[in-house]
Copies of this chain bind each other. A is one copy, B any other.
Amino acid sequence: MADVAESERRILVAVDEGEESMHALSWCLKNVVSQNSKDTLILLYAKPPRAVYTALDGTGYLFSSDILAAMEKYGAEVAACVLEKAKKMCKDLQRDVKVEARVENGDPRDVICQMTEQLGADVLVMGSHGYGLIKRAFLGSVSNHCAQNVKCPVLIVKKPKTNAGSK
């Protein structure tokens, strides 16, 4: 880690429901975070706004408020679950690393770029997908967008093909 190990780097890792982002986190813990560093890992989960679910339902029917409330609750639970899983991985792979977890509402592309700036991240780590194939067709690649718009170094980690279903 040379001379910057002491400089308390802030490493932002964008996590989501996908296995790819967990793979990115794992790769980062093994390859970027050093064992005795003062690095802080910031786990960021971007909770897509309701509109994203609605627009992508595709049935043409609007959801009732009950269903929307249930989806909101489900969304919050997913966020908590993803962050728990990510935190556990941090403890397992780098016991001493400082970990912060954040949930932010919004389009992941915007949220990740904004938070990277706002939190003064020294590097952004993310999977290459972030959305499923269909959603990506609508929303574009999150990692592409972030790599173009974020000022700090961006590390894009793909899940090895042998375990992943898509390219």
Contact = CB atoms under 8 A, between A and B. Distances in A.
Interface of A: 1-4, 9, 24, 27, 29-35, 93-94, 122-123, 128, 141, 143-144, 147-148, 151-158, 160-161
A4 B32 contact: no
Number of this chain's copies in the complex: 2
Interface centre among A1, A123, A153 (most CB of B within 10 A): A153
A112 B81 CA distance: 38
Contacts of A29: 2
Contact of A144 (B24, B147, B151): B147
Contacts of A123: 31
A93 B148 CA distance: 28
Contact of A147 (B32, B94, B156): B156
A27 to B, nearest CB: 6
B153 A157 contact: yes
Contact of A153 (B2, B27, B141): B27
A137 to B, nearest CB: 15
A29 B153 CA distance: 13
A142 to B, nearest CB: 12
A1 B35 contact: yes
Contacts of A35: 1-2
Contact of A1 (B1, B9, B148, B155): B1
A141 B148 CA distance: 10
A151 B156 contact: no
Given A4-B31, A94-B2, A147-B144, A156 B156 contact: yes
Contact of A2 (B33, B141, B148, B152): B33
